[in-house]
């Protein structure tokens, strides 16, 4: 231990400071970095966006990202006020959202194109200067496209009203127009405005299933500058499928067929469904499969013959799914799901099923592939079909890329800037304590349980093959999709079989876990905050999973504002229940705002008619003083770096480390 005045530096710290000195080899270098970090910490925090339960609605998601949930329109209003007509502001916003497409329309109708270019470029530069004002020049520079980085930076930081700079500024714009680069420059500016309006994007689960564009959403996310994902049960289902879990694969295919969105699999990920179609036609050729008609069949563009084939495929994969799930239940008694091994509960002679000591008649008794003496056994044809489908999933290059992106940017939960993000729940007991769950002989609860589940999810995909630990992790991915103690599901059972084969809707009910009642109380939220190391007085829980039924007067703000449930029905399948089309939560330096969206009609109308998503904004929490970077997780990291640099300065000045010129 070495003492330098009042500062004590041990040998390990000195070794670290010597390494740090390689990056900052002099007092001047270290001092400059301290000044830089202190300046950054005094800037307003960047804007965070929270979205959840996208469920493949790629057009609505893309538009919300492009218009920043109405924030860009608000900034256009703030900047141009009454100096522009409403129609002009609408045209400018549409250009910012869809620059390539809007430029094509403008060039078809605009007679004085060069004048339009000059006016538009000036407006975009003013707006870009506005949205970039709370960032360092370095951060803005990194957001600029390489082709125009120098020019944009010059325009953003030069005052055109200064007599000596006016001709310089106008000269740049005129040159851009004269050399035929105006279109590319406008597109670049629009993209920079979009990017700087959203600093960090949080997706609180369920990107996949129901809608037709999950793969398109993943394409957008994988290119995005700063984002994270908290896995939902639908995401974990696809992750399990990509890890080779056959029950997850069957579920993924069944849900796609249920909504007639199998093009996600075929066109999006190159999954070959032809073997399934052939098997379904041969096995269920005379079966009307009426219970398996696509939910959106009436709105579908498919002809009746195609819809019937989809229904046959749907039933075929559903029966395989129930068998595969029964096999997992048999080999994993620790999952405690014997009551859900439903094919063993069927009386195949009477055409009934016994569930929880009650007997129900089945509305469909045609089970040509089931052996009543061994109902969970796949036929040779089914086994060969699943082998082909599993191979197709494992060999899909694009699916692999997207799943690795989910792992790289995802986790089961995230604690960031006094917000705790997770998709559905934290398993709780009836008394409000953290539920104790046994996994592979060890007992976990609360944060430790979430951390262990996160680890298992990664082992399922990246773990060493053909080991018991890996095999358990792969099976557990299916449990996370539908198990009673799964934090991603949070109900006592998933009644998929009942919804297909039993008319009595009483059997369809899925009882929510204690979490969903207890979380309405502030003391429950405070207990969770303490478990995850967050300050109860200033923290929030943000999750989705359960659609907020706005039509019935439900509020997304619960427990005195400590909990925000932001599943408002991005998925069209949920919009009849919610009455709206999703929420966006915005956390900027002024506080928290909740944006409620109306249904998005189409990208085409947004471009051609300037139709925007109608959004209503609610202030959830506002701050008297703006939140600065130093108040965030990033700020705490910058403070740590600053402290280390101060130690380095001390080491230089006390002679412990020599400066290098």
Examine the pLDDT at 2 and tell me if it is beyond 60.
no
Spatial distance between the Cα atoms of 14 and 7, rounded to a whole number of angstroms: 12
Token pair listed for 574: 């949920």
pLDDT in tens, 242-271: 999 999 999 999 999 999 999 999 999 999
Same domain, yes or no, for 172 and 57? yes
Least confident span in 141-150, 415-424, 531-540: 141-150
409 and 231 Cβ atoms separated by less than 8 Å? no
592 and 571 Cβ atoms separated by less than 8 Å? no
pTM for the model stands at 0.92
φ, ψ dihedrals at 466, nearest 5°: 60, 35
Examine the pLDDT at 149 and tell me if it is beyond 90.
no
Residue 200 lies in a domain: yes
Residue 299 — very low, low, confident or very high, per pLDDT cuts 50/70/90? low
Query: What local confidence, expressed as pLDDT, does residue 124 receive?
Result: 94
Least confident span in 8-12, 159-163, 215-219, 654-658: 159-163
Examine the pLDDT at 161 and tell me if it is beyond 90.
no
Per the model's pLDDT, the better-predicted residue between 642 and 582 turns out to be: 642
Residue 390 lies in a domain: yes
pLDDT in tens, 388-443: 999 999 999 999 999 999 999 999 999 999 999 999 999 999 999 999 999 999 99
Last residue of a domain, one of 366, 397, 428: 397
Last residue of a domain, one of 380, 397, 414: 397
pLDDT in tens, 102-114: 999 999 988 899 9
423 and 230 Cβ atoms separated by less than 8 Å? yes
Spatial distance between the Cα atoms of 535 and 526, rounded to a whole number of angstroms: 8
Token pair listed for 606: 């947004």
Same domain, yes or no, for 619 and 566? yes
HEC letters along 400-420: HHHHHHHHHHEECEEEECCEE
Average pLDDT value for residue range 460-487: 96
Residue 228 lies in a domain: no
Average pLDDT value for residue range 227-236: 97
Spatial distance between the Cα atoms of 240 and 243, rounded to a whole number of angstroms: 5
Query: What local confidence, expressed as pLDDT, does residue 6 receive?
Result: 60
Strand ranges (E), 521-613: 540-543, 557-558, 563-565, 583-588, 591-597
Chain-centre distance for alpha carbon 347? 43
Spatial distance between the Cα atoms of 297 and 311, rounded to a whole number of angstroms: 10
Q: Is the dihedral of CA 240, 241, 247, 250 positive or negative?
A: positive
Same domain, yes or no, for 64 and 193? yes
Residues near 565 by beta carbon (within 8 Å), at least 6 away in sequence? 543, 544, 545, 546, 548, 556, 558
Q: State the residue for tokens 């851009």.
A: 176
pLDDT in tens, 112-126: 999 999 999 999 999
Average pLDDT value for residue range 452-464: 97
646 and 431 Cβ atoms separated by less than 8 Å? no
Same domain, yes or no, for 79 and 15? no
Average pLDDT score, the chain: 92
Query: What local confidence, expressed as pLDDT, does residue 613 receive?
Result: 73
Same domain, yes or no, for 261 and 368? yes
Query: What local confidence, expressed as pLDDT, does residue 160 receive?
Result: 67
Same domain, yes or no, for 391 and 272? yes
Examine the pLDDT at 81 and tell me if it is beyond 80.
yes
Residue 472 lies in a domain: no
Residue 402 lies in a domain: no
* Domain of 382, in residue numbers: 246-397
Same domain, yes or no, for 134 and 37? no
Same domain, yes or no, for 34 and 92? no
Same domain, yes or no, for 198 and 286? no
Residue 214 lies in a domain: no
Residue 300 lies in a domain: yes
pLDDT in tens, 270-283: 999 999 999 999 99
Same domain, yes or no, for 197 and 68? yes
94 and 605 Cβ atoms separated by less than 8 Å? no
CB-hemisphere CA count at 13 Å for 200?
A: 17
Average pLDDT value for residue range 603-624: 79
Query: What local confidence, expressed as pLDDT, does residue 114 receive?
Result: 93
* 626 φ/ψ sector (left φ>0, alpha ψ -120 to 50, else beta): beta
Spatial distance between the Cα atoms of 347 and 114, rounded to a whole number of angstroms: 78
202 and 107 Cβ atoms separated by less than 8 Å? no
Same domain, yes or no, for 268 and 321? yes
Query: What local confidence, expressed as pLDDT, does residue 27 receive?
Result: 94
Looking at residue 57, the DSSP 8-state letter turns out to be -
Spatial distance between the Cα atoms of 94 and 112, rounded to a whole number of angstroms: 20
Query: What local confidence, expressed as pLDDT, does residue 603 receive?
Result: 83
Query: What local confidence, expressed as pLDDT, does residue 400 receive?
Result: 97
Same domain, yes or no, for 124 and 21? no
Residue 613 lies in a domain: yes
CA distances in angstroms from 240 to 399, 422, 496, listed in the order given: 12, 19, 18
Per the structure, the count of domains in the chain is 3
Query: What local confidence, expressed as pLDDT, does residue 3 receive?
Result: 52
């Amino acid at each position: 231990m070495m003492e330098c005045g009042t500062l004590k530096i041990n040998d390990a710290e000195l070794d670290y400071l010597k390494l740090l000195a390689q990056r900052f080899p002099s007092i001047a270098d270290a001092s400059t970095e301290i000044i830089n970090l202190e300046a950054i910490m005094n800037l307003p925090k960047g804007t965070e966006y929270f979205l959840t339960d996208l469920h493949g609605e790629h057009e609505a998601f893309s538009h919300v990202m492009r218009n920043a949930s109405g924030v860009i329109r608000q900034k256009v209003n703030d900047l141009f006020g009454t100096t522009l007509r409403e129609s002009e502001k609408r045209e400018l916003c549409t250009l910012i959202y869809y620059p390539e497409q809007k430029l094509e329309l403008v060039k078809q109708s605009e007679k004085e194109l060069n004048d339009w270019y000059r006016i538009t470029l000036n407006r975009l530069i003013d707006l870009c200067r506005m949205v970039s004002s709370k960032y360092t020049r370095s951060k803005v520079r990194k957001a600029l496209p390489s082709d125009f980085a120098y020019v944009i930076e010059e325009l953003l930081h030069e005052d055109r009203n200064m007599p000596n700079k006016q001709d310089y500024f106008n000269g740049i714009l005129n040159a851009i127009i004269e050399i035929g680069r105006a279109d590319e420059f406008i597109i670049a500016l629009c993209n920079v405005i979009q990017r700087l309006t959203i600093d960090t994007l949080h997706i609180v689960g369920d990107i996949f299933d129901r809608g037709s564009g999950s793969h398109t959403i993943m394409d957008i996310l994988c290119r995005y500058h700063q984002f994270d994902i908290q896995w939902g049960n639908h995401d974990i289902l696809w992750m399990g499928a990509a890890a080779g879990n056959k029950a997850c694969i069957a579920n993924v295919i069944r849900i796609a067929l249920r909504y007639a969105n199998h093009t996600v699999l075929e066109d999006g990920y190159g999954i070959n469904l032809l073997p399934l179609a052939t098997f379904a036609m041969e096995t269920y050729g005379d079966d009307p499969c009426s219970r398996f008609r696509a939910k959106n069949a009436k709105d579908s563009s498919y002809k009746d013959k195609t819809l019937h084939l989809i229904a046959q495929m749907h039933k075929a994969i559903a029966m395989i799914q129930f068998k595969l799930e029964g096999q997992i239940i048999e080999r994993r008694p620790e999952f405690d799901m014997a009551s859900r091994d439903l094919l063993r509960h069927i009386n195949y002679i009477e055409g009934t099923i016994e569930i929880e000591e009650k007997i129900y008649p089945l509305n469909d008794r045609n089970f040509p592939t089931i052996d009543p003496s061994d109902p969970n056994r796949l036929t040779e044809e089914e086994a060969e079909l699943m082998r082909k489908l599993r191979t197709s999933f494992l060999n899909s290059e694009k699916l692999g890329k997207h799943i690795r992106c989910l792992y790289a940017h995802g986790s089961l939960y995230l604690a960031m800037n006094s917000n705790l993000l997770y998709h559905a729940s934290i398993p709780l007991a009836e008394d409000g304590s953290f539920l104790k769950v046994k996994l592979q002989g060890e007992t976990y609860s609360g944060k430790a349980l979430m951390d262990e589940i996160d680890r298992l999810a990664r082992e399922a995909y990246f773990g060493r093959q053909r080991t018991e630990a890996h095999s358990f992790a792969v099976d557990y991915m299916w449990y996370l999709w539908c198990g009673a103690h799964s934090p991603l599901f949070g109900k006592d059972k998933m009644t998929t079989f009942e919804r297909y084969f039993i008319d009595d809707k009483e059997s369809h009910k899925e009882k929510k876990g204690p979490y969903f009642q207890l979380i309405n109380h502030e003391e429950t939220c405070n207990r969770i905050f303490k478990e995850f190391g967050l300050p109860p007085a200033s923290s929030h829980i943000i999750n989705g999973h359960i659609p907020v039924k706005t039509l019935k007067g439900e509020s997304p703000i619960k427990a005195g504002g400590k909990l925000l449930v932001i599943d408002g029905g991005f998925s069209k399948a949920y919009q009849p229940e919610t009455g709206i089309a999703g929420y966006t939560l915005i956390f900027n330096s002024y506080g928290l705002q909740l944006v409620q969206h109306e249904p998005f009609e189409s990208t085409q109308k947004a471009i051609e008619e300037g139709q925007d998503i109608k959004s209503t904004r609610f202030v959830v929490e506002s701050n008297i003083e703006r939140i600065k970077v130093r108040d965030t997780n990033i700020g705490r990291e910058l403070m740590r770096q600053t402290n280390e640099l101060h130690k380095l300065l001390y080491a230089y000045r006390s002679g412990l480390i020599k400066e290098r010129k």
